[in-house]
């Protein structure tokens, strides 16, 4: 790989980093706070490439003016070409955010109990909570406010796993990331559906996700270590919704 090619590749890599921040697609891969460092990295790469190009052009002009070439046209090894692959992936085929297809490949996330102990539920009728928040609150207090008040949660449907008797054949799940999509883990709740709101609704079968907003109440005593921190939510209403932004919880 010639120096000119290296410079062009640096511009492409830096440009892609700037692009995914400006169009918001970086949220498919990292947390929102990463926007500034990703953008800064992209700007630095482009700036380094531009400076190197200018220096090389000046050096060549000087060499030509003296009628000789000092032979500074270095070459990078074959491994440098590996940088082309992620650039092409982001420019030509933008990878989607992880979803239900990844649930089978990532582990169940243990609820961070200490983060929510004593934290009251938001005011209002059926306040909206994140799925991780529901799982955490149920683990902190299996007989607490979630068992006496309706809450509203959103997630995608996945086939139920180790569901209790009488639960629906689907669970409501969400992927949680700590830093980036590479460390994604799953939180889920079982769905008790005595009124049949989800009778004809199942996981998407076309490779996408089926997102649902559910209103319900946590069954007392569920969501503990005994059931792997997967509470059961009794559904009182549900509706199909579009994929939320951001896709992940944090």
**136-154 confidence digits (pLDDT tens):** 999 888 999 999 999 999 9
- 124 versus 109: the higher-pLDDT residue is 124
Show the beta-strand stretches assigned E in 122-208.
151-159, 167-176, 185-192
Residue 221, Cβ neighbours under 10 Å: how many? 14
Cα–Cα dist 249/27, whole Å: 11
pLDDT (0 to 100) of residue 107: 46
pLDDT at res. 7: 78
Burial of 136 from C-beta contacts in 10 A (0-12 / 13-18 / 19+):
buried
pLDDT at 242: 93
Domain ranges of the chain: 3-92, 100-241
- pLDDT tens by residue, 8-18: 888 888 888 89
How high is the pLDDT of residue 168? 92
For residue 118, count CB atoms less than 10 angstroms from its CB and return exposed for 0-12, middle for 13-18, buried for 19 or more: exposed
Q: Is 110 exposed, middle or buried (0-12, 13-18, 19+ CB in 10 A)?
A: middle
What superfamily does domain 100-241 belong to in CATH?
Nucleic acid-binding proteins (2.40.50.140)
Average pLDDT over residues 205-212: 82
Say yes or no to pLDDT of 110 above 50.
no
Q: Are the C-beta atoms of 222 and 142 separated by less than 8 Å?
A: yes
Residues in the chain: 250
Instruction: Of 58-62, 115-119, 184-188, give the lowest mean pLDDT range.
Output: 115-119
Task: Tell me what percent of the chain is helix, strand and coil, each rounded to the nearest 5.
Answer: 40, 20, 40
pTM above 0.85, yes or no: no
Dig out the tokens for 25 from the structure: 């697609």
- Per residue in 64-100, pLDDT (tens digit) is 655 555 545 555 555 556 666 666 666 666 677 888 8
- CA dist 180 and 34 (Å) reads 9
């Amino acid at each position: 790989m010639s120096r000119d090619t290296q410079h062009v590749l640096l511009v492409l890599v830096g440009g892609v980093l700037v692009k995914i921040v400006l169009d918001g697609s970086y949220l498919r891969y990292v947390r929102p706070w990463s926007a500034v460092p990703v953008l800064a990295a992209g700007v630095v790469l482009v700036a380094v490439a531009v400076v190197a190009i200018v220096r090389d052009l000046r050096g060549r002009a000087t060499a030509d003016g003296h009628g000789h070439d000092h032979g500074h046209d270095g070459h990078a090894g074959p491994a440098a070409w590996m940088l082309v692959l992620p650039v092409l992936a982001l420019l030509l085929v933008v990878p989607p955010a992880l979803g239900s297809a990844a649930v089978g490949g990532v582990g169940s996330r243990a609820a961070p109990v200490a983060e929510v102990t004593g934290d009251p539920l938001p005011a209002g009728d059926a306040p909206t909570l994140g799925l991780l928040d529901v799982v955490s609150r149920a683990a902190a207090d299996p007989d607490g406010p979630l068992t006496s008040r309706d809450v509203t949660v959103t997630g995608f449907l996945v086939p139920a796993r180790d569901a209790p008797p009488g639960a629906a054949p689907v669970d409501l799940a969400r992927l949680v990331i700590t830093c980036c999509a590479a460390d994604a883990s799953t939180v889920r709740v079982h769905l008790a559906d005595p009124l049949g709101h989800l009778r004809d609704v199942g996981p998407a079968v076309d490779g996408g996700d089926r997102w649902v907003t559910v209103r319900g109440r946590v069954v007392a005593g569920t969501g503990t270590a005994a059931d792997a921190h997967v509470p059961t939510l009794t559904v009182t209403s549900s509706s199909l919704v579009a994929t939320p932004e951001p896709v992940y919880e944090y």
